[in-house]
Amino acid sequence: MDTKEPISFQKTSVLFCEPDADVTFISSDGIHFKIHSEHLTLTSTVGLARLPENVSTAGSDPICLSETSDVLEILFQFIEPPPLSRNHRHPSVMDMEPSLFFRIAEAAEKYIVYGAMGVCSMRMHQIVSEYPVEVLNHCALHGYPHLADQAAEKAISHPIDAVVPKLTAPGLALKYVQSSYIL
């Protein structure tokens, strides 16, 4: 009987698989993304670009990220043009499923991916009436006070027990409950 461990195959993103890329990220679901560090410094001077010094050399250890591959596949398109694309445009967030959109918006803020941050902010202005609680939480976490105020006005009519569990920004749930009772 053969007692050897089964061979595990590394899964790599179809879009981000260039053999000459010098940085490899791994999503929380185990997908590898190969990125050129020069693109990181152009699009994310503080977030992803702040890598340990030994990471920017080919063959260094991969960097594990907490986001899933569906989020990173889109986020990295704001950082590096996929090689399969001739006329690279940033991905559209216009018709994106809301749960995925808000996870991408969160990752864009976390890693300070400027292009994605701007696009997500503009999209939130458009969907604030449909998703006021999600927009309120995101804006409170990341410092968009004007949009947070708009979202709060729309969210205040929602039931407290449905809203409070979604408010993860420090102190936001208390502010929401206090505002609900003032009205």
Over residues 151-175, the pLDDT tens digits come to 999 998 889 888 999 998 998 888 8
> Taking Cα atoms as reference points, which of 95, 79, 3 lies closest to residue 35?
79
- 179 C-beta neighbours (distance < 10 Å), count: 13
What does pTM read for this prediction?
Answer: 0.82
Determine the pLDDT at residue 175: 85
Beta bridge partners of 24: 34
Query: Which token pair is 58?
Result: 């080919």
Q: How much is the average pLDDT of 27-48?
A: 79
Residue 47 in this model has a pLDDT that exceeds 70: no
The structure tokens listed for 4 are: 């050897």
Give the pLDDT of residue 39.
80
**What letter does residue 12 receive in the DSSP assignment?**
E
Interacting residues of 127 by C-beta distance below 8 A, sequence separation 6+: 98, 135
Edge-to-edge order in the sheet of strand 63-64: 11-12, 31-35, 23-26, 63-64
Backbone torsions φ then ψ of 3, nearest 5 degrees: -105, 10
pLDDT tens for residues 77-117? 998 877 665 567 788 999 999 999 999 999 999 999 989 99
Helix (H, G, I), strand (E, B) or coil at 102: helix
CA atoms within a 13 Å half-sphere pointing along the CA-CB vector of 84:
6
